[in-house]
């Protein structure tokens, strides 16, 4: 019977599945499910953050650790892995390194076809791992420590998920989150046809989609939430590693489910993953001129020479804004989890994957203006002028403005010095004026990818489309509708399509052809030309069709692996550490106060080594400890907790002297008692060896003030 069932499913797709479910509703209800999590935090000092392309935004500490969260789903015949990583982007070489490591342990079980790796897109994590020149240029080239941290974290999370596989069930639910996101390019969105815009209430998606994983014994296993918002609540003045709003939402959900477990531990794994977030900002107060507070111009510029047009979040600063957005995401996701709104997912798993050489692709496009179909092509990668203008989440440099469709003689001369676009390139990208002909730039190696991975996974009536970049709101909506149409033609059941963003490689933005015309930041960063989306719609329709029919697809031409051919780095190594005169590593320079209360922020300063000597992966640079039973110190917070901050400062560059400042914002629900702060680190001896050290502060008393009589009487 089993052989017959799977044979029928492979030949007839989802429509056959639903026939079988009607005959035997429980036959295919159970999947094999595994979840795993691992620390993927890169170097917290001296490496430029990925995302804002701001050279001076080097890390000097840690606020929230970054994690990789892996989910394995197996129906007995097919296996699919979804990985959510707290990182800015995902690189092809990272994925290949992960697959190589998995192959040594599991053979051909995990491949390009069934492993989908999605980046959250936090802009406050170390860069230097992308291996395309344009993306690593702001980080002074390749940083091996960054790449190794992410590769090892992803690999370990998949290994842990593999070792935790148990029988289970899958459910899907949808909720709505308000006052969390706005469209940062509303002018571009308005270029889309009114008839299309009228189908939707908002110019950004407000729907949160949640997939729940429950063991056959009803034990909660994990959850994935998809919601469209940029993790840019932490702005480009931040120098502390952070997983930003979606990362903190994951921590909040896991703390709810794992009770007393430390952050990053516990069996339940919760992810908040990226989707069509391309034009979506969490800075919901909108753009204002940073000094005057006046409204920005239509091009999001300000009159002052050095005055930028910034959008801000709902809080008094970026930390409070991050917390507010994270809590709103968490609250709706927790409500969905605890409600009875989820619907069970039934059916087989199918995964397909294909590499696509984008400049070589063509597709058919219906031109609403002419009322005719046109044959359109992809372009050799190039970035437009408005790319240099940045966004209201992080404005760019010089005098570039969003919405620029006219070239400048000076900047064209600078561009041509690096690499000149061909006349064909200029025509293909029109109306984008090309600022960087990245597809023609090959020194010291490729600046942007020409070949991208495309991937679709079907789990019953749920389709996950892994896309290699940032789809705008309407681009994501068109992709979902295109895939739905294909799948619904083969099944009587309504399909749920999830756009999983920034998967497997990074190829910048994907706007609609209409949005592309006015060349805001997102259009200028759509690197394969005005019909990038048109090509993707065709490609994902074909992948979805192949998946539901159980057909294989040709692998396509693989992108080059740049790590194997040598890379450029200008990131200096740590040479040696020396303690301050008369001090030892771990000595406390500044002690915390003797008494503190909830809401207070206590701090301590230690003589330190360089944090890059040891990234303390799956460990901690700090711990806040409470004295138990007058004899045992227990850790109640680490550098992965929201309430703590770890900040490193080089006090003498020549001598290699450093210090770290550790702060703890005492939570309102703290247990009164005796506390101390501990710092763990490593220093590099002048002859090259690395040695551990630690330091602890004096103990201090945390007291909880008793409520006054009036408060007690009125129950406040």
Rounded distance between C-alpha atoms, residue 136 and residue 410, angstroms:
25
Q: Tell me, what's the pLDDT at 426?
A: 97
pLDDT per position as a tens digit, 218-265 = 999 999 999 999 999 999 999 999 999 999 999 999 999 999 899 999
pLDDT per position as a tens digit, 399-444 = 788 988 888 888 889 888 889 999 999 999 999 999 999 999 988 8
> How would residue 492 be classed by pLDDT, with cut points 50, 70 and 90?
low
pLDDT per position as a tens digit, 169-220 = 999 999 999 999 999 999 999 999 999 999 999 999 999 999 999 999 999 9
With beta carbons less than 8 A apart as the criterion, state whether 659 and 589 touch: yes
Rounded distance between C-alpha atoms, residue 415 and residue 679, angstroms:
48
DSSP 611: G
> How would residue 21 be classed by pLDDT, with cut points 50, 70 and 90?
very low
Q: Tell me, what's the pLDDT at 367?
A: 83
What burial class does residue 494 get, using C-beta atoms within 10 Å of its C-beta: 0-12 exposed, 13-18 middle, 19+ buried? exposed
pLDDT per position as a tens digit, 521-548 = 999 999 999 999 999 999 999 999 999 9
| More confidently predicted of 463 and 708 | 463
With beta carbons less than 8 A apart as the criterion, state whether 170 and 73 touch: yes
DSSP 541: H
Q: Which of 233, 281, 507, 623 is catalytic?
A: 281
Angle at 177 between CA 173 and CA 183, to 5 degrees: 120
Residue 611 φ/ψ, nearest 5 degrees = -60, -25
Q: Among residues 44, 41, 66, 46, which one has the least CA distance to residue 56?
A: 46
DSSP 177: -
Cβ atoms within 10 Å, residue 199: 8
Number of H helices, E strands in the chain: 16, 39
Rounded distance between C-alpha atoms, residue 123 and residue 128, angstroms:
13
Rounded distance between C-alpha atoms, residue 683 and residue 663, angstroms:
21
Average pLDDT score over residue span 503-518: 98
365 bridge partner residues: 374
Among 107-116, 171-180, 531-540, 680-689, the minimum mean pLDDT is found in: 680-689
Residue 3 has pLDDT above 70, yes or no: no
Cβ atoms within 10 Å, residue 493: 16
Place of tokens 């921590």: 251
What distance separates the 2 farthest-apart alpha carbons in the chain?
A: 82
Q: pTM for the whole thing?
A: 0.93
Average pLDDT score over residue span 26-45: 87
Hey, which bits of 487-529 come out as E strands?
A: 496-500, 509-510
Provide, rounded to the nearest whole percent, the portion of the chain with pLDDT above 90. 81
- Parallel, antiparallel, or unpaired: how do β-strands 451-459 and 349-357 relate? antiparallel
pLDDT per position as a tens digit, 605-654 = 999 999 999 999 999 999 999 999 888 999 999 999 999 999 999 999 99
Give SS3 for 214. strand
Residues in Cβ contact with 573 at an 8 Å cutoff, skipping those fewer than 6 apart: none
Rounded distance between C-alpha atoms, residue 313 and residue 315, angstroms:
6
With beta carbons less than 8 A apart as the criterion, state whether 528 and 328 touch: no
Q: Among residues 188, 238, 212, 236, which one has the least CA distance to residue 60?
A: 238
Residue 11 has pLDDT above 50, yes or no: no
Half-sphere exposure of 207 (CA within 13 A, CB side): 15
Q: Tell me, what's the pLDDT at 714?
A: 41
Element (H, E) at 646: strand 644-652
With beta carbons less than 8 A apart as the criterion, state whether 126 and 144 touch: no
Q: For residue 105, what are its two tokens? A: 């342990």
Q: Tell me, what's the pLDDT at 370?
A: 80
Question: b or e along 581-596 (b: 16 or more beta carbons within 10 Å of the residue's beta carbon)?
Answer: eeeebbbbbebbeeeb
Q: Tell me, what's the pLDDT at 493?
A: 65
With beta carbons less than 8 A apart as the criterion, state whether 224 and 273 touch: yes
With beta carbons less than 8 A apart as the criterion, state whether 84 and 66 touch: no
DSSP, residue by residue, 10-56? HHHTHHHHHHHHHH-TTTT--EEEEEEEEE-----EEEEEESS--TT
Q: Among residues 48, 169, 71, 168, which one has the least CA distance to residue 118?
A: 71
Cβ atoms within 10 Å, residue 99: 17
| More confidently predicted of 148 and 24 | 148
Average pLDDT score over residue span 118-132: 96
Rounded distance between C-alpha atoms, residue 150 and residue 155, angstroms:
8
Q: Tell me, what's the pLDDT at 5?
A: 28
Rg (alpha carbons) of the chain, rounded to whole number: 26
Rounded distance between C-alpha atoms, residue 611 and residue 46, angstroms:
9
Rounded distance between C-alpha atoms, residue 439 and residue 447, angstroms:
7
Q: Counting every residue, how long is the chain? A: 716
Cβ atoms within 10 Å, residue 210: 23
Residue 6 has pLDDT above 80, yes or no: no
Q: Tell me, what's the pLDDT at 491?
A: 61
Q: Tell me, what's the pLDDT at 12?
A: 29
Residue 671 φ/ψ, nearest 5 degrees = -85, 125
Mean pLDDT of the chain: 92
Rounded distance between C-alpha atoms, residue 402 and residue 299, angstroms:
6
With beta carbons less than 8 A apart as the criterion, state whether 543 and 456 touch: yes
User: Residue 281 catalytic?
Assistant: yes
Helices 92-106 and 144-163 sit at what angle, rounded to 10 degrees? Answer: 40
Q: Among residues 347, 290, 441, which one has the least CA distance to residue 26?
A: 347
Half-sphere exposure of 404 (CA within 13 A, CB side): 24
Q: Is 138 left (phi over 0), alpha (psi -120 to 50) or beta?
A: alpha
Among 304-308, 600-604, 652-656, 671-675, the minimum mean pLDDT is found in: 304-308
- Parallel, antiparallel, or unpaired: how do β-strands 462-466 and 496-500 relate? parallel
Q: Is 492 left (phi over 0), alpha (psi -120 to 50) or beta?
A: alpha
> How would residue 707 be classed by pLDDT, with cut points 50, 70 and 90?
low
Rounded distance between C-alpha atoms, residue 701 and residue 47, angstroms:
37
Give SS3 for 211. strand
């Amino acid at each position: 019977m089993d052989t017959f069932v799977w044979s029928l499913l492979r030949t007839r797709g989802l429509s056959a599945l639903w026939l079988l479910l009607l005959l035997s509703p429980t036959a295919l209800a159970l999947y094999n499910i595994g979840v795993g999590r691992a620390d993927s935090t890169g170097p917290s000092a001296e490496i430029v953050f990925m995302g804002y392309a701001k050279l001076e935004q080097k890390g000097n500490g840690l606020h929230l650790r970054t994690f990789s969260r892996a989910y394995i789903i197996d129906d007995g015949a097919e296996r699919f892995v979804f990985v959510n990583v707290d990182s800015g982007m995902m690189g092809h070489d990272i994925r290949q390194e992960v697959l190589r490591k998995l192959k040594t342990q599991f053979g051909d079980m995990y491949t390009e076809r069934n492993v989908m790796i999605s980046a959250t897109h936090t802009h406050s994590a170390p860069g230097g791992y992308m291996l395309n020149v344009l993306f690593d240029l702001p980080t002074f080239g390749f940083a091996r420590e960054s790449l190794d941290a992410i590769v090892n974290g992803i690999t370990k999370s998949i290994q842990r998920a593999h070792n935790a596989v148990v029988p289970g069930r899958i459910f899907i639910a949808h909720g709505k989150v308000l006052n969390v996101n706005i469209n940062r390019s509303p002018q571009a969105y308005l270029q889309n046809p009114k008839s299309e815009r009228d189908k939707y209430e908002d110019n950004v998606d407000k729907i949160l989609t949640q997939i729940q994983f429950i063991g056959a014994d009803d034990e909660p296993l994990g959850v994935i939430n998809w919601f469209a918002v940029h993790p840019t609540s932490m702005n480009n003045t931040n120098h502390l590693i952070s997983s930003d709003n979606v990362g903190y939402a994951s921590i909040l959900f896991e703390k709810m489910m794992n009770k007393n477990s430390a952050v990053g531990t516990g069996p339940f794994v919760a992810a908040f993953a990226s989707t069509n977030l391309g034009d979506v900002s969490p800075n919901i107060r909108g753009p204002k001129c940073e000094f005057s507070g006046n409204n920005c111009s239509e091009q999001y510029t300000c009159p002052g020479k050095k005055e930028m047009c910034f959008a801000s979040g709902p809080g008094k600063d970026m930390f409070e804004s991050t917390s507010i957005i994270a809590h709103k995401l968490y609250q709706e996701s927790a409500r969905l989890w605890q409600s009875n709104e989820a619907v069970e997912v039934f059916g087989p798993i199918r995964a397909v994957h294909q590499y696509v050489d984008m400049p070589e692709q063509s597709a058919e496009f219906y031109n609403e203006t002419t009322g005719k179909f046109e044959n359109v092509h992809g372009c050799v990668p190039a970035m437009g002028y408005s790319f240099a203008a940045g966004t209201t989440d992080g404005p760019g440099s010089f005098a570039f403005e969003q919405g620029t469709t006219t070239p400048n003689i000076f900047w064209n001369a600078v561009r041509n010095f690096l690499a000149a676009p061909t006349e064909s390139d200029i025509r293909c990208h029109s109306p984008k004026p090309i600022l960087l002909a990245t597809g023609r730039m090959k020194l010291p190696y490729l600046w942007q990818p020409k070949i991208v991975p495309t991937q679709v996974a079907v789990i019953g009536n749920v389709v996950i489309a892994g896309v290699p970049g940032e789809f705008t709101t309407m681009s994501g909506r068109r992709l979902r509708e295109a895939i739905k149409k294909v799948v619904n033609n083969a099944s009587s059941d309504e399909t749920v399509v999830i756009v999983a963003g920034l998967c497997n490689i990074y190829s910048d933005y994907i706007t609609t052809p209409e949005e592309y015309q006015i060349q805001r930041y997102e259009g200028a960063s759509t690197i394969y030309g005005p019909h990038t989306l048109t090509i993707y719609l065709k490609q994902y329709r074909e992948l979805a069709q192949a998946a539901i029919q159980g057909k294989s697809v040709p692998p396509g031409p693989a992108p080059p692996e740049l790590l194997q051919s040598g890379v450029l780095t200008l990131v200096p190594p740590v040479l040696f550490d020396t303690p301050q005169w008369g001090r030892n590593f771990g000595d406390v320079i500044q002690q915390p106060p003797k008494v503190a209360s909830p809401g207070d922020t206590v701090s301590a300063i230690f003589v330190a080594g360089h944090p890059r000597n040891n990234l303390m992966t799956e460990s901690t640079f700090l711990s806040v400890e409470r004295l138990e039973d007058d004899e045992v110190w227990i850790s109640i917070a680490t550098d992965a907790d929201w309430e703590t901050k770890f900040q490193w400062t080089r006090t003498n560059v020549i001598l290699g002297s450093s210090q770290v400042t550790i702060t703890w914002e005492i939570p309102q629900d703290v247990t009164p008692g005796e506390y101390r702060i501990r710092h763990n680190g490593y220093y590099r001896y002048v002859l090259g060896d690395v040695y551990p050290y630690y330091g602890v502060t004096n103990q201090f008393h945390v007291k909880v003030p008793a409520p006054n009589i009036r408060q007690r009487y009125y129950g406040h």
